[in-house]
Amino acid sequence: MAVDADTASRELMESTTSLIGDDGSPAASTVEWGTSDDEDVDGPEASGTPLALAVGVIMVVGLAALTGWLGFRTYQSHQADAQRSLFLEVGRQGALNLTTINYTEAEADVARILDSATGTFRDDFQKRSQPFIDVVKQAQSKTEGTVTAAGLESVNGDSAQVLVAVSVKTTNAGAPEQQPHAWRMRVEVQEVNDGVKVSNVSFVS
């Protein structure tokens, strides 16, 4: 039994010596420590992925909003330009209609003026249309207008004022030929349900 005790004591000392170095410090461990499968080794990269995705989505949404806004502004600008062009064209044509009357086609010429007019201007012209036709036919009068210049004076929503310069040549039966007269007209136009029409006309110096 004594021999067994000495043997056991010696083995225990050898085991302890293998764990402690000569200088009394723990000996280097030969155990290799593995990595647990549950450890999140990709922590920093994984946490950055959702952030990058969110930033990308915000950029795409912002770009789409900017593109839509620019497209809308372009559409508005195009619509405004088209409206101004229409106002100008109706003003020019209105002045031309009022200054181009042929006694042989007086009814048609007056009807064209009425078709392009609206509001009180149309009502007043219609009341005077028949006496006007009678005078033109009686004098065998012919007037021919030529627009020499035209421009928008102002625009206010669905209405505008157009300044038109017109050269008007007038001939009457039995009268000597006259020199053309230069007129300046302010033609007011109004957007209504069936288009843009002349709402008033006045002469300016």
**pLDDT level of residue 34 (50, 70, 90 thresholds):** very low
Measured at the CA of 171, the angle between CA 100 and CA 134, to 5 degrees, comes to 70
Instruction: Specify the higher pLDDT residue, 202 or 78.
Output: 202
Task: Quickly count: other Cβ atoms within 10 Å of residue 84's Cβ.
Answer: 13
pLDDT of 55: 79
CATH of 87-203, one of 3.10.450.230, 3.50.50.60, 1.10.238.10, 3.40.50.150: 3.10.450.230
Model pLDDT, residue 30: 45
Question: Within 13 Å, how many C-alpha atoms sit on residue 85's CB side?
Answer: 6
pTM above 0.75, yes or no: no
Evaluate if residue 85 carries a pLDDT over 80. yes
More confident residue, 22 or 48: 48
pLDDT in tens, 92-139: 999 999 999 999 999 999 999 999 999 999 999 999 999 999 999 999
Which pLDDT score, from 0 to 100, does residue 11 have?
A: 53
How distant, in Å, are the alpha carbons of 12, 17, 18, 19, 30 from that of 23? 19, 11, 12, 12, 18
Q: What is the distance between the alpha carbons of residues 205 and 185, in angstroms, rounded to a whole number? A: 9
- Complete edge-to-edge strand list for the sheet that includes strand 195-203: 101-102, 142-156, 159-171, 181-192, 195-203
Q: Token pair 């110096």 is at which residue? A: 205
Report the range of poorest mean pLDDT among 34-48, 103-117, 124-138, 166-180. 34-48
What is the predicted pLDDT for the residue at 7?
54
More confident residue, 104 or 14: 104
Given this model, what pLDDT does residue 20 score?
47
pLDDT of residue 96: 97
With a cut of 90, say whether residue 6 has pLDDT above it: no
pLDDT at residue 80 in the model: 83
Residue 67's pLDDT band (cuts 50, 70, 90) = confident
Better-scored residue on pLDDT, 166 or 4: 166
Q: What pLDDT does residue 189 have?
A: 97
Token pair in block for residue 165: 């310069």
Residue 107's Cα: distance from chain center in Å? 43
Distance, in Å, from the CA atom of 96 to the CA atom of 94, rounded to the nearest integer, reads: 5
* DSSP-H helix ranges across the chain: 2-19, 43-99, 106-115, 119-139
The domain segmentation of the chain, as residue ranges, is 87-203
What's the pLDDT band for 10 if we cut at 50, 70, 90?
A: low
